[in-house]
Amino acid sequence: MSADRPARTSLTPPDDAVTPVRHPDAPAPGEVLGSHYDQCFGCGEKQPHGLHLEARAGEGVTVTAEFTVKPAHQGAPGLAHGGVLTTALDETLGSLNWLMHVISVTGRLEADFVRPVPVDTVLHLDARATARHGRKIYCTATGRIGGADGPVAVRADAVFIEVKVEHFVDHGREAEIQAAMADPDQVRRARAFEVNP
């Protein structure tokens, strides 16, 4: 291994990876993406225990999001739980699906916790797809406190893996799958990703 090149890991795109492309029908920069599933722990508006993270499309294949740390998200007294912060990063990265019109799920995610995040903090998140190789989408996210240009509190690198809608139908619990398939809004959201020229 060369001394001036970091070690290759499963989070390092292969040399023949390509630049991710924004889908022509991607939401416009600044547009709120909305929830992909109303019961999602990360973004679902009907999920009482969730993070209620709200993401917006950015330029290129990027998104921004905000998440307010609530008392229910504590690990240590008055501080956000690291797993909750990782969920916020994961959800923000998952929102990149809307920009590429791809359905993908987290395969690997590696997080760095740089500063403690107190309750009531608004975490300003941004995520970017950096490379694609076959079904693999390499992406990175950062969470800052005090504003979009504030100090970094958390960050993550991840590989998402493209899947078909059947991934959820085959593996999800029957009751929730049936309910989702009976919900025209949910079907519309899933269909939006099926056409992927």
Ligand X SMILES: CCCCCCCC(=O)SCCNC(=O)CCNC(=O)[C@H](O)C(C)(C)COP(=O)(O)OP(=O)(O)OC[C@H]1O[C@@H](n2cnc3c(N)ncnc32)[C@H](O)[C@@H]1OP(=O)(O)O
Give the interface with ligand X as residue ranges (CB under 6 A).
10, 36, 42, 90-91, 94, 97, 103, 105-108, 134-136, 159, 161, 163
Q: How far is the CB of 196 from ligand X (least distance, A)?
A: 14
Comparison of 27 and 107: residue with beta carbon closer to ligand X:
107
d(CA 94, CA 21): 16
Comparison of 80 and 93: residue with beta carbon closer to ligand X:
93
Output the CA–CA distances (angstroms, integers) from residue 77 to 21, 36, 117, in the order listed: 43, 32, 11
CB 109 within 8 A of CB 119: no
Nearest residue to ligand X, scored by beta-carbon proximity: 94
Which is nearest to 41 in space by CA: 33, 31, 32, 51?
Answer: 51
3-state class of 58 per DSSP? coil
DSSP 8-state symbol, 118: B
Comparison of 122 and 163: residue with beta carbon closer to ligand X:
163
Q: How far is the CB of 147 from ligand X (least distance, A)?
A: 25
Q: How far is the CB of 90 from ligand X (least distance, A)?
A: 5
Comparison of 46 and 135: residue with beta carbon closer to ligand X:
135
Q: How far is the CB of 111 from ligand X (least distance, A)?
A: 13
CB 172 within 8 A of CB 152: no
Which is nearest to 121 in space by CA: 164, 154, 91?
Answer: 154
Comparison of 22 and 133: residue with beta carbon closer to ligand X:
133
Q: How far is the CB of 186 from ligand X (least distance, A)?
A: 11
